[in-house]
């Protein structure tokens, strides 16, 4: 559940000053939105995926829905808004793969708690909410828990900036909470990421707290114990959507009931492949991740994943 956007990318080595014009090295466009990126990544990793969000009743909305459908994502519950344009994001990509974003939410704001029903969740096992709107998270959590489903949240910086006092009750009893190191420090009031995560966990009942650390990997805090997994060293091209890809792979690994460290390794491997490609929707397919893991000496983990997905 969350945003579906048209992403427009501009690759450049500098940001123009007022009234200044600069040349870009490259421009490209494609589908975006954290929740939509997540749903595509899940489908590419071999599980069924459904998306709930809102787009404009315009040509970009048509294009983005068709793109999701081509990836095998269930789009039946996408809402169309006639009075708003489809959400758009301008992504400025540096030559080192880093990104800066300018967002126009548009029709994404048309998603309301009333759109979240048991019908939307029928036939699924896990709910992922990828936006910082507390009313959406709260409704999704309530219905998911009533149906015996697990739920994860990646609310990003908008959620973190609300502060723990505001979001504590909303986030209580979420199964998996994803955040990056900046968000962890913001919420945990510490420049030490581990201490920040521990501060958060001391105030919010979350089964697993995941902090992504970019090129340094990711950490998991569960039952008071911290587990850490290094990132894989790859040449970065575009980091847009890497966090969404990581979250998708981690949730897939959780659905497959892998061990905690194996979940982190699988998620890091999947996200590492993504950053070598341009665009938010360039997450790898399952066979690519399996080959990557095997090439790095993780054949046992690769075989375990294939076995749990029902491959011989």
Residue 27 lies in a domain: no
Name the stretches of the chain with pLDDT < 70: 312
Q: 221-274 pLDDT, tens per residue? A: 999 999 999 989 999 888 888 999 999 999 999 999 999 999 999 999 999 999
Distances (CA, A) of 195 to 48, 105, 170: 36, 34, 22
Residue 236 lies in a domain: yes
Residue 249 lies in a domain: yes
Q: What does the pLDDT read at residue 97?
A: 77
Residue 193 and residue 186 in contact, taking contact as beta carbons nearer than 8 Å: no
Of all residues in the chain, what percent carry a pLDDT higher than 90? 88
How many folded domains does the chain comprise? 1
CATH number at residue 45: 3.40.1190.20
Residue 127 and residue 1 in contact, taking contact as beta carbons nearer than 8 Å: yes
Domain of residue 273: give its range: 34-83+112-308
Residue 125 lies in a domain: yes
Residue 15 lies in a domain: no
Residue 9 lies in a domain: no
Residue 237 lies in a domain: yes
Residue 11 lies in a domain: no
């Amino acid at each position: 559940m969350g945003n579906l956007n048209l992403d427009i990318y501009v690759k450049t080595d500098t940001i123009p000053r007022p009234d200044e014009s600069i040349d870009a090295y490259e421009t490209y466009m494609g589908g975006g939105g954290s929740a939509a990126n997540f749903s595509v990544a899940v489908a590419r990793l071999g599980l069924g995926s459904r998306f709930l969000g809102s787009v404009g009743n315009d040509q970009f909305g048509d294009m983005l829905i068709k793109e999701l459908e081509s990836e095998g994502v269930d789009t039946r519950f996408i809402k169309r808004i006639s009075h708003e344009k489809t959400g758009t994001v301008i992504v400025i990509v540096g030559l080192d793969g880093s990104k800066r974003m300018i967002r126009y939410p548009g029709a994404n704001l048309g998603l309301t708690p009333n759109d979240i029903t048991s019908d939307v969740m029928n036939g699924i096992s896990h709910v992922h909410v990828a936006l910082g709107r507390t009313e959406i998270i709260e409704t999704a959590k309530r219905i998911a828990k009533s149906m015996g489903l697990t739920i994860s949240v990646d609310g990003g910086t908008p959620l973190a900036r609300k502060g723990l006092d505001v979001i504590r009750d909303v986030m209580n009893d979420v199964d998996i909470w994803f955040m990056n190191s900046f968000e962890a420090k913001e919420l945990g009031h510490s420049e030490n990421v581990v201490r920040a995560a521990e501060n958060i966990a001391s105030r919010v009942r979350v089964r697993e707290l995941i902090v992504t650390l970019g090129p340094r990997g990711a950490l998991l805090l569960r039952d008071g114990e911290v587990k850490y997994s290094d990132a894989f060293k790859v040449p970065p091209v575009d980091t847009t959507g890497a966090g969404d890809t990581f979250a998708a792979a981690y949730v897939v690994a959780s659905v497959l009931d892998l061990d905690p460290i194996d979940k982190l390794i699988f998620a890091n491997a999947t996200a590492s492949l993504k950053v070598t490609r341009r665009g938010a929707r360039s997450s790898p397919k399952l066979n690519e991740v399996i080959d990557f893991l095997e090439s790095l000496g993780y054949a046992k983990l690769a075989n375990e994943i294939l076995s749990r997905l029902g491959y011989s």
